[in-house]
Amino acid sequence: MRLRLTPRDVTFFDLFATLAAHLVTGADLLAQIVGAEPADRSVLADRLRDAEHDADDATHSIMKRLNQTFVTPFDRDDIYVLSSALDDCMDFMEAAGAMIVLYAVEDLPEGVNDQVATLQRAAELTADAMPRLRTMEGLEEYWIEINRLENEGDRAYRGLTAALFSHPVYQESPAGVVEMLKLKGVVDSLEDAADSFERVANTVETIFLKES
């Protein structure tokens, strides 16, 4: 690690850890929405929206601190990119949960469960990694595993998308096409969330390389 002669504001590490903890809550609520009966999903979606607001507040705290701090723990641009990517993870998860409720989706394809399970694991890994930014120790396994999960999620996404477009039920009538498009919106948002988790991991790797 490089020797620093000026003090750093280490509050950022706690703020990143707080933001990442909200992602774990969000991913767990999303899993509950997917597994719940349609009538029970609205309440869970409201809780997910509250978690998204909490994540927004944490992101705003990071941005406010960034504007008030002269010497940051690492590159200012990287702090901005990391906080934005973390916030995107929550935004896309919340969007998926909201669409399931707003579109009145009843039956979700089995592949959606796989997507959400991947997001839960990614959220747990991310929450575990954020405190380690303070020492930059034990981070390599984190971004390697996140990249592996994202590749796994990509395969699931492609298979799920192909199944939606080829399933005869969704091609028999205009109503079937509409239902397919609803499901495609949910699946796309879940994939966007997975991509955002990978963006977080890639940013952490960039920070690590700069600080090493």
| pLDDT score, position 173 | 78
Residue 111 in tokens: 């592949």
Three-state SS sequence of the chain? CCCCCCCCCCHHHHHHHHHHHHHHHHHHHHHHHHHCCHHHHHHHHHHHHHHHHHHHHHHHHHHHHHHHCCCCCCCHHHHHHHHHHHHHHHHHHHHHHHHHHHCCCCCCCHHHHHHHHHHHHHHHHHHHHHHHHHCCCCCHHHHHHHHHHHHHHHHHHHHHHHHHHHCHHHCCCHHHHHHHHHHHHHHHHHHHHHHHHHHHHHHHHHHHHHHC
Is a pLDDT exceeding 60 seen at residue 1?
no
Q: What angle do CA 134, 138, 143 make, to 5 degrees?
A: 100
Find out whether 90 and 55 touch, Cβ atoms under 8 Å. Answer: yes
pLDDT, one tens digit per residue, over 161-186 is 998 888 877 777 788 888 889 999 99
pLDDT, one tens digit per residue, over 201-210 is 999 999 999 9
Interatomic CA distance for residues 59 and 16, integer angstroms: 8
| pLDDT score, position 129 | 97
Where does the pLDDT of residue 45 fall: very low under 50, low under 70, confident under 90, or very high at 90 and above? very high
| pLDDT score, position 7 | 45
